[in-house]
Amino acid sequence: MVGTVLHGESIPIIQKRVEDAGFKDIELILLGADKVFVQSLSAVSASEIVREAKQFFDLIFASMVRWDKEAMPFQRGAWLRVYGIPLHAWNEFFF
């Protein structure tokens, strides 16, 4: 399943919250932006686990959908180190 993270929380923090709630077999894999792949490490499917604990996962994810090719994020974050470019020249179109 693919989840959209609420409030831009860090994935390691969300993973810890999920583990602390007793879901040791759920792994979150960052897809970029606010999307994570929710994978079950046990025989029980991730969709079944999420369905059974819907109230808990609604506190973490804005939406949960089955994974498909179109579920990829539209943006990705990156850090750049650029030397010699004046600050007033920096904008989205520049990069």
Helix/strand/coil percentages in the chain, nearest 5: 35, 25, 45
Question: What pLDDT sits at residue 20?
Answer: 95
When the pLDDT of each residue in the chain is averaged and rounded to a whole number, the result is 84
State both tokens at 12: 């390691």
pLDDT greater at residue 33 or residue 41? 41
Instruction: Supply the pTM of this predicted model.
Output: 0.68
Whether the predicted pLDDT of 76 surpasses 90: no
Which one has a higher pLDDT value, 79 or 49? 49
Identity at 42, one-letter amino acid code: S
Sorting pLDDT into bands at 50, 70 and 90, what band is 67? confident
